[in-house]
Homo-oligomer: A and B are copies of this chain.
Amino acid sequence: MTIRRASELPKPTEAELAILGVLWERGSGTVRDVHEALYANDGGGYTTALKLMQVMHAKGLVERDDSQRAHVFRAVVSKERTQKRFLSDIVDRVFDGSASQLVLHALGSQSASREELKEIRQLLNRLDRESK
């Protein structure tokens, strides 16, 4: 038996991430659900989605309920955890390990609403207090 801690799950590939996105949004879904949400428009085949999801299941990224004829899939990794993981990766690899460099870039080059700015400021205040 192989036990694998969550942190050792492989990093999702690009196509896998798109599928996880659908599962996170819906909570769960069949291959058909995912195919229609992602591939139906741009001509991707049904079996392509199926194969990807089989691979993801083999990797442990998704779990599968096969009590129904159309198996129902569900993400094993949470969205938050995955976001954090990609974030650390990018901080290490292109921002020399400095998260605040990344924050400065992100704030500078992308748009944020006043609502979001307010939220960020509140978090900033809290961090300031905690690091006193």
Interface of A toward B, CB cutoff 8 Å: 14, 17-18, 79-80, 82-84, 86-88, 90-91, 93-95, 98-114, 116-117, 119-121, 123-124, 127-128, 131
Contacts and interface: CB of A to CB of B under 8 A. Distances in A.
Contacts of A80: 105
- The secondary structure that dominates the A interface is helix
A108 B126 CA distance: 10
Contacts of A95: 83
A56 B100 CA distance: 29
B114 A107 contact: no
Given A82-B94, A94-B83, A107 B99 contact: yes
A33 to B, nearest CB: 19
12 contacts: A17-B94, A80-B105, A83-B105, A86-B90, A87-B102, A87-B106, A87-B110, A99-B110, A100-B120, A104-B119, A104-B123, A106-B106
